[in-house]
A and B are shown apart, each in its own frame.
Chain A
Amino acid sequence: EDQVTQSPEALRLQEGESSSLNCSYTVSGLRGLFWYRQDPGKGPEFLFTLYSAGEEKEKERLKATLTKKESFLHITAPKPEDSATYLCAVRRKRGSTLGRLYFGRGTQLTVWP
């Protein structure tokens, strides 16, 4: 079963049009939620880690927030260079495979001028 669901699958924004990407998760006992950016043909690039509900992290035009059920990646006044696939992943607090991440399928963001 899916433990991490990202929505929407694809998002097209005009430059400057702010929006949010959603990552909902169903793991019991969260030990970190991670956001990555991936450009076509390249490996994912780490953006943020969030550990507890209410936590927020910011980097340039990106801001990640966390609740007990989901995380949002807010993009403020995006530029074309923000176009990429954004991946969300979670880590469980308990279990035999503590180190592994469970990834969502990503949101493909396109920002047009």
Chain B
Amino acid sequence: DVKVTQSSRYLVKRTGEKVFLECVQDMDHENMFWYRQDPGLGLRLIYFSYDVKMKEKGDIPEGYSVSREKKERFSLILESASTNQTSMYLCASSRQIYNEQFFGPGTRLTVL
């Protein structure tokens, strides 16, 4: 079974803090994705990566950056957290670009 893990299920941070969200997959998948999910807005793509050290912007990259130094790990960074970044953050991975994506359990981030 594919396993995608995320470093925290719940996280509370202060405005202005730098926040790191970590995602690890154990199936040697090429592609990894970061989404946020908000009520009424659905899933929105923040960033994705087709390979190590590669990244592509999604629909809402502003205020975020990513890092992929190893194939299995994809990090989402909030450089200076703001209250409008309070959300559920979901990581996903897929073997090849045309394969289905498998999601992690999510991180519920609250920025105060």
Chain A contacts to B: CB under 8 angstroms? 31-32, 34, 36, 41-46, 49, 87, 89, 91, 97-101, 103-106
Identify whether the interface residues of B are mostly helix, strand, loop, or mixed.
Answer: strand
- B58 and A105 contacting across the interface, CB-CB below 8 Å: no
- A46 and B105 contacting across the interface, CB-CB below 8 Å: no
| Residues in B neighbouring A41, C-beta threshold 8 A | 106, 108
A-B contact count (CB 8 A): 52
Q: Give the residues from 5 to 46 in chain B that come closer than 8 angstroms, CB to CB, to chain A.
A: 31, 33, 40-43, 45
- B98 and A91 contacting across the interface, CB-CB below 8 Å: yes
Q: Please tell me the size bucket of the interface on B.
A: 20 to 34
- A100 and B58 contacting across the interface, CB-CB below 8 Å: yes
What are 18 A-B pairs at a CB distance below 8 A? A32-B100, A34-B100, A43-B103, A43-B104, A43-B106, A44-B90, A44-B103, A46-B101, A46-B102, A87-B42, A98-B97, A98-B98, A99-B31, A100-B33, A100-B45, A100-B48, A101-B45, A105-B41
> Which of A34, A98, A106 has a CB less than 8 Å from the CB of B42?
A106
- A45 and B103 contacting across the interface, CB-CB below 8 Å: yes
| Residues in A neighbouring B48, C-beta threshold 8 A | 99-100
Judge whether B94 is part of the interface by a CB distance below 8 angstroms. yes
Give complex CA distance A89, B44 in Å: 12
Give complex CA distance A74, B94 in Å: 26
Q: Which of B43, B58, B90 has the most CB of A within 10 A?
A: B43
Residue of B whose beta carbon sits closest to that of A4: B42
